[in-house]
Amino acid sequence: MNITLNLQWLEAVMLASVRMAAFIVIAPPFSYRAFPGRIKAMLALGLAVAVSPRVVPGYVSLSNSAFFGAIVMELLVGAILGFLVFIAFAAIQSAGNLIDTFGGFQLAQAYDPGTMINGAQFSRLFHMTAIALLLASGAYQLILGGLFRTFDALPLGGGINLGVSADLIVTAVTQMFLAAAQIAGPLLIVLFLADAGLGLLTRVAPALNAFALGFPLKIFLTLALGGLVLAVLPAIVSALTDSVAKTLVGVR
């Protein structure tokens, strides 16, 4: 029995799987530590086979040295693409961190090895909710669609424009801080007004020691109004997913 092996197809799938693997290791929700490493490797290989009809026709077989150089280049491309997705969804975690800091929960900070987050309650709650929404709503498919389209702009072994990538990363970091402030901003304003009110009450009636009530009051306000922030997370995740898909397509 003769088995014909298409080396061009095999090389293209291997290079595509390297990009997929680097992306999956960094980009949420695929980077979640609860997913076993072998499952991530199988997913990367399966996605590479799925995208093979897009990448194989334009691929030209490389020499040994050029092939190993292409592997390194695909690792870099996948890592940059995954980092862009990570930055976008880090806005939700940053918003939770702001709420923890201003609400008085930062004292309960702990490291979560599953999500690799060092934060308090709202940081971890928002992050876990975002991952659950990405998986439950199918938004991860939109992210994968954006990743597949990068093979048109960035052919296998073709490299990446680091200048354009740096501009995208700077823009993504700026948008992350802006989105975090927009998500947590209303609650932070309420907490600030609570502090200002307690300060005025202390000036009017120093004997009441109003600041002794500040800590439990801020915790109550954070818990009461934090649910409102949590309720709008589906819309926020949807908007971030659309932004991520457009950003991935814009990489050159």
Residue extents of the structural domains in the chain:
7-249
Per the CB < 8 A criterion, the answer to whether 115 and 126 are in contact is no
Q: Check residue 110 and give its pLDDT.
A: 67
Which of 30-39, 106-115, 132-141, 154-163 bottoms out in mean pLDDT, i.e. has the lowest?
106-115
One-letter amino acid for residue 140 of the chain: Y
One-letter amino acid for residue 172 of the chain: A
pLDDT beyond 70 at 210: no
| pTM for the full predicted model | 0.82
What's phi and psi for 59, nearest 5 deg?
A: -90, 140
Q: What is the arithmetic mean of pLDDT over 147-157?
A: 82
Mean pLDDT, the chain, integer: 81
Instruction: Write the pLDDT tens digit of every residue in 56-96.
Output: 887 777 777 788 888 888 888 888 888 888 888 888 888 88
Q: What is the arithmetic mean of pLDDT over 139-146?
A: 85
- What is the Cα–Cα distance from 46 to 225, expressed in whole angstroms? 43
Q: Check residue 34 and give its pLDDT.
A: 77
SS3 at position 111: strand
Single out the residue of 109, 107, 106, 108 nearest to residue 98, CA to CA: 106
Instruction: Write the pLDDT tens digit of every residue in 156-197.
Output: 877 777 777 778 788 888 888 888 888 888 888 888 888 788
- What is the Cα–Cα distance from 247 to 196, expressed in whole angstroms? 41
